[in-house]
Amino acid sequence: SYRIMPKNSKVYFNKNEILNLIDSRRVKDKNYPQLLDRYEKAFLKGYNTSVLSIDNDVDNQIFSIIQSLVSHIQSVEIQDIFNPPDLPNPSEITRSNALKLQYAASDFWFENHREVDLQIWARTCLIKGDFFGFLRIDPKSDYPLKYDMLDPSEVILASDSIDNIQNQPWIARQLTTNISNLKRFVKNYFSNDKERIDKIYQHLALLEPSATITLYDFWSKVEGGQNTLLTSGGVEIYSKPWPFNYLNLYPFFQYKDIPILKRSRSISTVSMLIALQERFGKETRQIRENAEYVGNPPIVVDVESGIDINKIEGRPRLIVRKYKEGDFKIERVPSLPAYVQLSLIHISEPTRPLYIS
């Protein structure tokens, strides 16, 4: 998109208006982080995330399905194709320049290890519905064009009914840092503006030295556009007009799982599988319970029969046939029903997760 943004020397939203916009979206999306957490727990259920030890009481088909899909996605070849934009003056960008952009994009993704990160993109997307990336420039790096991976909970969108991220009126990303890192950034960013540095430092001095600071990187296309960085407490680090001369594109990209028309957030594969997994787990536990009961029936002993209970206690899969005189005979129970045997075979095959469908 090469529509030139109208230049504006002033920003449209002040810091208080920005915080109000973000807070209003947070109120509307208050259940969203809990949903993402539930999806992630469903994916990891049965695994201790500290040591990755398997809980044998849980047959988690979701984990196997997602891992299988991620492995498949990672093996797919990706091609980046650039088409010259439709401009009033076609000579402005030629096909040869578009080809150069294609080579540049290949270099960008190679330097940023996309093939390695793709499994993180895909796994996050399948679990939480969306994956977001943020493009930036690091002038101190050998390769200055970088991208950051963002969790969906860290991205705040202006509207939940706009499906194209580039059509959002504004976008904010949430960051966390500590005071020392923020001071270092401010000192480098305003290296020639000591008054500005001192003013921000005075605000930060009111906080605990070990405090974690939440930042909002706010981008808007309203009235010429702007980019503002501020803390959740209202300390403005900087606010500037739209920084790009020729592009009206946000430096964000979104990777979707199951997109829905006129919805900014996608549906995740895991959210569709949770009900099936819960039903599968319930039936699995019932089958195991039934198998234990079939093999360990209750034993009734007449107290006055003279039967020595020490001979039968703690011995599974037995039937005790009692006679009037007090004698008894121990017999084996019948075999497990065929449906139980087949079900136990089925739940012991984690390598065939697609049974859940």
DSSP string computed for 220-280: E-GGG-EEEEEETTS-EEEEEE---SS----SEEEEESB--TT-SSPBPHHHHHHHHHHHH
pLDDT > 70: what percent of the chain? Answer: 71
Query: Angle at the Cα of 245 (from 243 to 247), degrees rounded to 5?
Result: 90
CA distance 66 to 126: 7
Give residue 94's Cα distance to chain centre.
39
**Phi/psi of residue 23, each to 5°?**
-65, -40
Range of weakest confidence among 39-53, 279-293, 340-354: 340-354
Residue entry with tokens 């029969």: 305
CA distance 238 to 216: 11
What is the per-residue pLDDT for 15? 93
Answer whether residue 317 shows pLDDT above 80. no
Residue entry with tokens 């079900």: 343
What is the per-residue pLDDT for 351? 45
Query: Angle at the Cα of 132 (from 152 to 153), degrees rounded to 5?
Result: 15
* Nearest residue to 69 via CA among 253, 242, 267, 269: 269
Top mean-pLDDT range of 57-61, 167-171, 315-319: 167-171
CA distance 161 to 263: 4
Mean pLDDT of 299-322: 60
CA distance 42 to 248: 39
This prediction's pTM: 0.75
Answer whether residue 134 shows pLDDT above 90. yes
* Nearest residue to 233 via CA among 208, 209, 215, 210: 215
Neighbours of 253 (CB within 10 A): 15
CA distance 217 to 239: 10
Q: Are 15 and 239 within 8 A, CB to CB?
A: yes
Q: Are 268 and 69 within 8 A, CB to CB?
A: no
* Nearest residue to 172 via CA among 22, 29, 16, 15: 22
Q: Are 5 and 225 within 8 A, CB to CB?
A: yes
Q: What is the mean pLDDT of the chain?
A: 79
For residue 356, name the pLDDT band (cuts at 50, 70, 90): very low
What is the per-residue pLDDT for 129? 94
Q: Which residue has the higher pLDDT, 295 or 161?
A: 161
CA distance 238 to 254: 26
CA distance 59 to 217: 42
What is the per-residue pLDDT for 97? 74
What is the per-residue pLDDT for 14? 93
CA distance 65 to 123: 11
Range of weakest confidence among 108-117, 152-161, 204-213, 283-292: 283-292
Residue range 32-67, pLDDT digits in tens: 999 999 999 888 886 654 444 444 556 788 888 898
Top mean-pLDDT range of 125-134, 135-144, 208-217: 125-134
Mean pLDDT of 188-208: 87
What is the per-residue pLDDT for 349? 52
Residue entry with tokens 């039967």: 307
